[in-house]
Chain A
């Protein structure tokens, strides 16, 4: 069974640009969550999508947005990039149906903002 796939793995952007990251969950998983990981703030929850609906949202500004498609694939977008957005962005999928709810993570997309 294929794991969670994130693309691109690495990218470099400049301030003010926007970026779109993609995540393909494990087949059959309907929940997709996004986390930002930085050395200073650790792992912070961005948002979660389930059946194309945002079910939970973290405390990030509106520049951070996401969506989920009917095949459960998800994208997140960051507009007007700032230097502080440099981070590893992790996507995780879960069954989210009666199961204890462990998260299956992708390898992440490392974003560098110059």
Chain B
């Protein structure tokens, strides 16, 4: 069984500030981990993925995440927030190379203040 916990349903940062969105996972097998972003009235778009290669993963729009097995975490960061980053972010876990059945966290809404 797998599960994902996203700490903080709402995060607010100022433009230019560090973005940190937290994700902890539980998986009985080596996990594949993903971060997705959803803008209003749209589907989800992949930001980045961890697939047991490098533990520091770089994604689109300046986001990156670090896989820490000892902490079962996969937190998403961005050094400097931009207004266009305001959206809902989802962490997801999949048990194998087939992501068809992914388990998603509850999501974190990111607000960026001018």
Interface residues of A (CB under 8 A from B): 4, 31-33, 35, 42-43, 45, 48, 50, 55-56, 58, 90, 92, 94, 96, 98-108
Contacts and interface: CB of A to CB of B under 8 A. Distances in A.
B97 A98 contact: yes
| In the A-B complex, the 4 residue pairs with the closest CB atoms | A101-B99, A105-B43, A48-B100, A100-B51
A58 B96 CA distance: 17
Contacts of B55: none
Nearest to B51: A100
Contact of A106 (B43, B90, B94, B100): B43
A94 B103 contact: no
B45 interface: yes
B84 interface: no
A99 B94 CA distance: 13
11 contacts: A31-B98, A48-B100, A48-B101, A90-B43, A92-B43, A94-B100, A103-B100, A105-B43, A106-B43, A107-B43, A108-B42
A100 B49 contact: yes
A100 B100 CA distance: 11
Interface of B: 32, 34, 36, 41-46, 49, 51, 90, 92, 94, 96-107
Given A92-B43, A92-B44, 10 more contacts: A4-B43, A33-B101, A33-B102, A43-B104, A48-B100, A56-B101, A92-B100, A101-B32, A102-B46, A103-B44
B99 A102 contact: yes
A100 B32 contact: yes
B100 A107 contact: no
Contacts of A92: 43-44, 100
B74 to A, nearest CB: 14
A42 B90 CA distance: 10
A90 B41 CA distance: 11
A96 B100 CA distance: 7
B41 A107 contact: yes
